[in-house]
Amino acid sequence: MAIQQKLSLMIPGPTPVPEKVLQALGKHPIGHRTKDFQDLVESTTKNLQWLHQTQNDILTITGSGTAAMEAGIINTLSKGDKVLCGENGKFGQRWVQVAKEFGLDVIKIEAKWGSPLNPDDFKTILEKDTEKEIKAVILTHSETSTGVINDLKKISTHIRNHEKALSIIDCVTSLGACSVPVDEWELDIVASGSQKGYMIPPGLSFISMSDKAWQASEKSNLPKFYLNLKSYKKSLLNNSNPYTPAVNLVFALDESLKMMRDEGLENIFKRHNRHKLAISKAALTLKLKLFADENYLSPAITAIEIDDINAEDFRKTIKKEYDILLAGGQDHLKGKIFRVGHLGYVNDRDIISVVAAISNTLLNQNKISSKEAGEALKVASNYLKIN
């Protein structure tokens, strides 16, 4: 009988889950209307506010990050409302589709896939809107389809200066990987998902709502039932949930957030930055190309171009030979790039392992020399030593 292999997830999600979190996940379920569960909700809510760096309400929905983003849109906007949507990758493209599906009047701000959105584009359009017709700005912070992080700090400044428009932000792969100071940047609606930086399996999403967002919800006329956030807000007053939640995922969330508090925000952000640098600099040493603008690399994932080899075949080789799962390109990028995830419960050993696997595969295909393979490991190791 063959020995069972240990799959290493180096993708943007699901991400690896710590042993302590898996053990919490395996507890016997408890009633979701009991005092014990209410205590659990109270604990996780406080720690979610800590992670988001906010005093805003943070609601937990049983559903993916897409559910949280859709909830943010349908609870604060009305049919025909004018919105700005940033699109520089697959997920920005998705929010354009969602907004149009609900009858919103969408103005797209686009950038080439691999490049960041230009904050000045937002500034120009928002400043011209003297009648304050634009009701929201919708964008993705960390665009994992291309490995780009957008300059949310600058963009949020322009949104605040408009005064009327809400910010509706997909932080699904940035929360828990880099600083997203919700209160400092005055972000109105921030969505995230459990299977990313939170280090737990898929199934929960989280949405932070500002007072301004709640005020907007009073005027919203878009249809909603399960994702009606007023129901979640009312339940949260009693540390509860309007519907049956994924109880065991909340056990897991409680454990993962405690682990994150023990590590500390700054240490979490530094770790993700080290891993980003180690992967990206090693890739350049191996004569590979970074697909994203090097000044705007996502802390969650590094997208890499590879010449003369189909990226899908390269991924399959890595999976077969080393049991490491890398992500592929999406849409027109399929076969042209592969993506190395370094989000959540990823440590230095994982980074060295994936650099070695990529190097050895290139070496076996006569794309690099053994000296270059060794140099890539040295480069990665040096960046891992940075505090």
Q: 129 and 162 in contact (C-beta within 8 Å)?
A: yes
Residue that the structure tokens 């705007």 belong to:
296
Residue that the structure tokens 């540390």 belong to:
239
Is cis: bond before 16, omega within 30 of 0?
no
Amino acid code (one letter) for 335 = G
Q: pTM (2 decimals)? A: 0.96
Per-residue pLDDT of the chain (387 residues), as tens digits, is 455 568 999 999 999 999 999 999 999 999 999 999 999 999 999 999 999 999 999 999 999 999 999 999 999 999 999 999 999 999 999 999 999 999 999 999 999 999 999 999 999 999 999 999 999 999 999 999 999 999 999 999 999 999 999 999 999 999 999 999 999 999 999 999 999 999 999 999 999 999 999 999 999 999 999 999 999 999 999 999 999 999 999 999 999 999 999 999 999 999 999 999 999 999 999 999 999 999 999 999 999 999 889 999 999 999 999 999 999 999 999 999 999 999 999 999 999 999 999 999 999 999 999 999 999 999 999 999 876
In angstroms, rounded to a whole number, what is the distance separating the alpha carbons of residues 278 and 276? 6
Domains of the chain: 8-14+265-384 (3.90.1150.10), 19-262 (3.40.640.10)
Q: 345 and 235 in contact (C-beta within 8 Å)?
A: no
User: Could you tell me which of 92, 185, 75 has the C-alpha nearest to residue 141?
Assistant: 92
The tokens for 184 are: 């400092």
Strands 301-305 and 289-290: antiparallel
Q: Quote the radius of gyration of the chain (alpha carbons, Å).
A: 21
Scanning the chain, the segments in alpha helix (DSSP H) are 19-25, 35-52, 65-74, 90-101, 119-128, 152-162, 211-217, 229-236, 247-263, 265-285, 311-322, 348-364, 370-384
